[in-house]
Amino acid sequence: MHETTPCWNREMEFMEEGHLRPLQSERLRDVVARVYERVPYYKEKLDAAGVSPEDIRGIEDIVRLPFTSKDDLRDTYPFGLFAVPMEQVVRVHASSGTTGRPTVVGYTRRDVQMWAEVMARTFAAGGTHIGDVVQNSYGYGLFTGGLGAHYGAELIGASVVPTSGGQTKRQVQILQDFGSTVLCCTPSYALVIGETGREMGVDFAGLPLRVGFFGAEPWSQSMRQEIEASLHVDALDIYGLSEMIGPGVSFECLEKGGLHINEDHFFPEVINPKTGDPVPDGELGELVFTSLTKEALPVLRYRSRDLTRIVTEPCGCGRSLRRMERVTGRTDEMLIVRGVNVFPSQVEEVLMRIEETTPNYLLVLDRKPRGMDEMEVQVEVSERTFSDEMSKLETLSERIGGEIEETLGLRVSVRLVEPRSLERSTGKAKRVMDRRDLGR
């Protein structure tokens, strides 16, 4: 079954649940015992939560463990959560730290090997093999993207070209001259490479470039189509966070139906960000990860603040590793309107389904004098499908309002606005204007 699916580690990627769960249980017991013994910060945290390592018998007991947040990493800056002496740490990476102190992550030799393994799975799932020329345009440095992708591609035996980011014309030149077959970079940079190439007169259809692994920032299905049309590649989503390892936590296969989680190393949970309770599979919530095998920096129940859901249907590729949907939003973006939790990404999902609009929108929140919150959704009319008949425009705004109400369980008003009148999505677009005076 599925013998033809390209993969790196058939045993782990196709392991039956009946074998995987005991393995996860064993690894969870081990990691909890290790941090309790070696990381004073975790010992304190577990003691405060009234949990001892003996209480953790299997993976189902994971919900008893306290969460770890970015603040915990900041509080213990730089090496306070490391579970091994520095003599065993062979690599250190750090986040940019634009909002406070950077978070620092460390790796033992075995951690680096495991990282290469999960990235090799990622590359193999997109059909990468010996003989491929992998152009790695993720930044090399403190950022985990560059080296993470590098080691995985090298492990496969592909020829890695470490271009790092920037110097786009040179990137295009190398794509052409070296005959790169695989490209790694952020999705927005992939579009820049495509545009620059066309300005230089490059015909991407005529290049050997075949597949791209894009991540490190949220992107959408429509962006995938744009990239695939621009570069003539299969555009695959990759996901990771440095607190777990970096890129390689989860990866898309060529089915492009969500990201398989390397759950033998990173155990996923999806929780309600307000209550911390797990939500059923298939429901939107905050993604939480526990590193099951990391040595230098094991992390229990790390709150990623990324919003997604677990996909329950089996994947066409045959892998048993569970899938998560592409990350569409952040918990920091959560709004509470008339007691309902609203994530802007839910509105975006609705708009993506409606052909007559662009996924550009703005949520405007107001509080009426009598105290009721009102949410207005401003939506750009799409140029292609603009109708000059008022009745059709009215029907369109009613349909948008209806579908949003169905998704959110909240009545909203819809205002159609001109295309390009809302801020463009280059990275972090402004999606919410909260005019409620919540200071009262």
Partner 1 sequence: MTAIQISVFLENKSGRLAEVTHALAKGGINIRALSLAETIDYGVLRLIVDKPKEAKTALAEAGFTVTETEVIAVAMPDRPGGLAGIVDLVTRHGLNIEYLYAFVGQRGENAVVIFRVDNAEEAITALQEGGAHVLSAAELSAI
Residues forming the site for partner 1 (CB under 8 A): 381, 383, 386-391, 393-394, 415-421
For the bound state, the minimum distance from the C-beta of residue 427 to partner 1, rounded and expressed in Å, comes to: 23
β-bridge partners, 240: 247
- In angstroms, rounded to a whole number, what is the distance separating the alpha carbons of residues 78 and 101? 9
Task: State which amino acid sits at residue 80.
Answer: G
Distance CA 336, CA 276 (A): 16
Whether 181 and 312 have beta carbons less than 8 Å apart is answered as: no
At 114, give phi and psi (nearest 5°): -65, -40
Alpha helices in 307-362 (DSSP H): 344-353
Whole-number minimum distance, CB 419 to partner 1, in Å?
5
Q: How far is the CB of 386 from partner 1 (least distance, A)?
A: 5
Q: How many Cα neighbours within 13 Å face the side chain of 34?
A: 20
CB of 178 to partner 1, least distance (A): 40
Using DSSP, how many helices (H) and how many strands (E) does the chain show? 11, 21
Least CB distance to partner 1 at residue 417 (A): 5
Dist CA 429 CA 363 (whole Å):
12
The nearer residue to partner 1, 184 or 375, going by C-beta atoms, is: 375
* 196 contact partners, CB below 8 Å, separation of at least 6: 168, 169, 171, 172
CB of 364 to partner 1, least distance (A): 12
Q: Looking at the DSSP assignment, which residues form a beta bridge with residue 376?
A: 364, 413
Q: Among residues 154 and 356, whose Cβ is nearest to partner 1?
A: 356
